[in-house]
């Protein structure tokens, strides 16, 4: 016999999946127009690209950037990936704002950058 | 047979469990390092860099190769972070909530992957242990002079060797 807990979980999964499928269709349509969202930042011979959420997906390091030393290089990559993550979040917020509430977007880490935010200035 | 009150309590407990997932994910981390020890990376559940350490020797490395290595180690750390999420959820909220999240996210726990290293099984551990314990008496001829010297060192160093 199936336990009540299993049934409950199945029902909850179906309910959430249904809601997310509806949002997903709308979101997919918007992403197909906008293209994949990537956040980028570049400085001192280092260029990074991150996926929404912050996963590093692209990294270019120049010879001159190596000369600054390993600690400085690691710090620069960390700083740039943080900036790129905020930019990707800003873009995700823009693309998904018609689909999800602002509260939901912010809880996912997708926040709008104001114009005077230093990270909003593309280098 | 559970009462209606039990069912309501169960449903409430499950809803409360689901609401904790975001909190648990916020604490999840994954770390990985390059085999040569030159790159160490820690990421959070979404993949954002939380720590990056580079060995001083990387300044002499090929910059393209180094960038590729950092990306590769980051991917490995991400797999660890995903598994850490599931471990935290499984530990705190139980296996059925973990399965629910795997269904919803469409992302199975990395430990379920067929090529995931399952570690040492109990049988394997016992077999290796029994081999280790019986080896010196079974195969005395295999003992090299180096291991004999090691034994001599331990014999001399032992406070019980008299």
Mean pLDDT of chain A: 83
Give pLDDT, residue B158.
45
The span from the CA of B124 to the CA of B128, in Å, is 6
Cβ B82 vs Cβ B43: under 8 Å: no
Inspect the interface and report whether the beta carbons of A73 and B58 lie closer than 8 Å.
yes
The span from the CA of A41 to the CA of B66, in Å, is 18
Give pLDDT, residue B60.
92
Q: Give the global pTM.
A: 0.67
Say yes or no: ipTM exceeds 0.95: no
pLDDT tens digits for A8-65? 667 777 777 777 777 777 777 777 776 778 999 999 999 999 998 899 999 999 999 9
Higher pLDDT pick, A84 / A102 = A84
B62 touches chain A (CB under 8 A): no
Residue with tokens 């047979």: B1
Q: What is the DSSP letter of B161?
A: -
Q: What distance in Å separates residue B48's CA from the closest CA in chain A?
A: 4
B79 touches chain A (CB under 8 A): no
Residue with tokens 């609401």: B19
pLDDT tens digits for B56-83? 999 999 999 999 999 999 999 999 998 8
Higher pLDDT pick, B103 / A8 = B103
- From the list B11, B47, B78, the residue facing A8 with the nearest CB is B11
Higher pLDDT pick, B89 / B36 = B36
Inspect the interface and report whether the beta carbons of A57 and B71 lie closer than 8 Å.
yes
Higher pLDDT pick, A25 / A113 = A113
The span from the CA of A66 to the CA of B11, in Å, is 56
Q: What is the DSSP letter of A122?
A: -
The span from the CA of B162 to the CA of B36, in Å, is 44
Cβ B18 vs Cβ B99: under 8 Å: no
Residue with tokens 């959420």: A53
Inspect the interface and report whether the beta carbons of B10 and A8 lie closer than 8 Å.
yes
Q: Which residue of A has its CA nearest to B46?
A: A53
């Amino acid at each position: 016999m199936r336990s009540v807990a299993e049934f409950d979980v199945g029902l909850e999964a179906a309910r959430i999946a249904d809601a997310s499928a509806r949002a997903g269709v709308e979101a997919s349509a918007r992403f197909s127009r906008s293209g994949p969202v990537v956040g980028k930042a570049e400085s001192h011979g280092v260029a990074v690209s991150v996926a929404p959420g912050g996963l590093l997906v692209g990294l270019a390091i120049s010879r001159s950037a190596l000369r600054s030393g390993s600690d400085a290089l690691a710090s620069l990559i960390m700083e740039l990936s943080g900036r790129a993550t905020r930019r990707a979040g800003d873009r995700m917020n823009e693309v998904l704002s018609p689909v999800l509430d602002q509260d939901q977007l912010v809880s996912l880490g997708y926040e709008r950058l104001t114009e005077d935010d230093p990270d909003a200035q593309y280098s | 047979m559970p009462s209606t009150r039990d069912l309501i309590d169960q449903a409430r407990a499950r809803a409360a469990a689901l609401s904790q997932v975001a909190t648990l994910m916020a604490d999840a981390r994954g770390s990985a390092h390059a085999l040569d020890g030159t790159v160490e990376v820690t990421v959070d559940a979404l993949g954002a860099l939380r720590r990056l350490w580079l060995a001083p020797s990387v300044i002499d490395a090929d910059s393209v190769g180094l960038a590729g290595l950092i990306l590769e180690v980051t991917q490995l750390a991400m797999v660890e972070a995903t598994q850490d999420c599931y471990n935290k959820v499984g530990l705190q909220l139980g296996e059925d909530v973990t399965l629910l999240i795997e269904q919803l996210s469409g992302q199975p726990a990395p430990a379920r992957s067929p090529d995931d290293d399952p570690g040492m099984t109990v049988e394997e551990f016992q077999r290796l242990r029994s081999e280790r314990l019986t080896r010196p008496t079974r195969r005395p001829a295999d003992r090299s002079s180096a291991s004999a010297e090691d034994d001599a060192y331990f014999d001399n160093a032992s406070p019980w060797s008299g």
